[in-house]
Amino acid sequence: MLTERHLQIFIALAEEQHFGDAARVVGITQPPLSQGLRRLEALVGAKLFERGAGRVELTPAGAALLPYARRALTSIGELHQAAVARDPEGPEIRVGLAPEVPPAAGAAVAAACGAALRGSRVTVVTAPTSSLVNQVGTGRLTLAAVLHPTVLDGLEAGPVALLSTWALAPASMADGEVVPLRDLKGLPIAVRPRAEAPAARDLFLDTVALHRPDGGTVVVTDDRAGLAMAAAGQAIVVTADPSLTAPGVSRHRLADDPLPLRLRIVWSRTRTPFLRPNDVMAQLTEALTS
């Protein structure tokens, strides 16, 4: 099936005449761009580009189809805008939140969405970052607050917001309001599955290993499971949620804040034309740290 992404790849390659440059324009890496082109050529039944020394040029078939591709992509954008404009109940903003987003920050993001578009309907879902990026890309979500870094796969993104974190440890393990990460020894740090946000999780693990070579990690399904392990004296939890606590668990700021929660708002430029203005994105990003 011919998709919007196929059109974006075709037009970007025609304009840039270079796979690497076209991939940057579309917001993906070169391998998926090449795969997308092969699928498109199979769908239309024609070779669209001639590969040269580091560059590509349109074939006669590609040149003939390019105007139609431009019109089709423009029409898709107009369709999205018309759907928003003609909705009698106002536009629906579907917001995705990564599980790591603290409840107060998530509520602030939802409120900022409602304030940005008066009369809009705001619905919120929670899912891992990898799922949220996919849902925004396919139009099931309007925007999402996701962990950074992550592969955006062509999505637009606001600035990175840094949320300070606390270490939750068994009360008998450490003293003091602020402790160095290296002093929290003897227990693993609870982490969520890597598949939920591979790049962000790798950065977290690399930082932990740098500051705390010993102790390791343990995988948990969510912060509540990690908190239960901390209360049982079996793990340490790093969280940006100021409300997460339990009897027998002490809360500590980490010296120099080595493990901030990195979040950013992502959206699709073609699917959310009503959320393009920079001031709206700035408002949403500010909501993350309010």
pLDDT band at 177 (very low <50, low <70, confident <90, very high): confident
- Other beta carbons within 10 angstroms of residue 104's beta carbon come to 13
Instruction: Say yes or no to pLDDT of 249 above 90.
Output: yes
What is d(CA 86, CA 65) in angstroms, rounded to the nearest whole number?
31
Same domain, 148 and 124: yes
Mean pLDDT of 164-187: 88
- Identify the residue whose tokens are 């339990």: 246
CA distance 265 to 159: 8
CATH number, domain containing residue 244: 3.40.190.10
Count, in order, helices (H) and strands (E) of the chain: 9, 14
Q: Cα–Cα distance between 6 and 204 in angstroms, integer?
A: 34
Answer yes or no: do 37 and 79 share one domain. yes
Q: What is the pLDDT of residue 74?
A: 79
Q: Which of 85, 104, 136 is the last residue of a domain?
A: 85
Quote the domain boundaries for residue 228. 165-259
Rounded to an integer, what distance in angstroms lies between the CA atom of residue 268 and that of residue 129? 15
- Same domain? 230 vs 186: yes
- Please indicate, yes or no, whether residues 132 and 150 belong to a single structural domain of this protein: yes
Q: What are phi and psi of 105, to 5 degrees?
A: -70, -40
Other beta carbons less than 10 A from residue 178's beta carbon = 11
- Do both 276 and 145 map to the same domain? yes
197 and 244 assigned to the same domain:
yes
Predicted pLDDT of residue 277: 43
CATH assignment of the domain containing 11: 1.10.10.10
What pLDDT is attached to residue 78?
Answer: 67
pLDDT in tens, 135-146: 888 888 888 999
**Tokens representing 83?**
């759907």
pLDDT of amino acid 156 = 84
Q: Does residue 62 sit in the same domain as residue 123?
A: no
% residues pLDDT > 90 (the chain) = 43
- Reply yes or no on whether the pLDDT at 122 is more than 80: yes
State the Cα–Cα distance between residues 159 and 264, nearest whole angstrom. Answer: 6
Residues 254 and 177 in one domain: yes
pLDDT of residue 98: 95
Q: What is the pLDDT of residue 26?
A: 74
Per-residue buried b or exposed e for 37-69, using 16+ beta carbons within 10 Å of the residue's own CB: bebbbeebeeebbeeeeeebebeeebeebbeeb
Estimate to the nearest angstrom the gap between the alpha carbon of 273 and the chain centroid.
Answer: 19
- How many domains does the structure of the chain reveal? 3
pTM for the model stands at: 0.70
Q: What is the pLDDT of residue 126?
A: 93
pLDDT in tens, 72-119: 887 876 666 565 555 555 668 889 999 999 998 899 888 888 877 666
Residues 145 and 97 in one domain: yes
Give the rounded percent of residues in the chain with a pLDDT score beyond 70.
89
Considering the domain architecture, whether residues 266 and 255 belong to the same structural domain is answered as no
Around Cβ 130, how many Cβ atoms within 10 Å?
A: 20
Count the neighbouring beta carbons within 10 Å of the beta carbon of residue 210.
11
Q: What is the mean pLDDT of the chain?
A: 85
120 backbone dihedrals φ, ψ, rounded to 5°: -80, 160
Same domain, 140 and 188: no
Residues 277 and 217 in one domain: no
Beta strands in 79-163 (DSSP E): 92-97, 121-126, 143-147, 156-157, 161-163
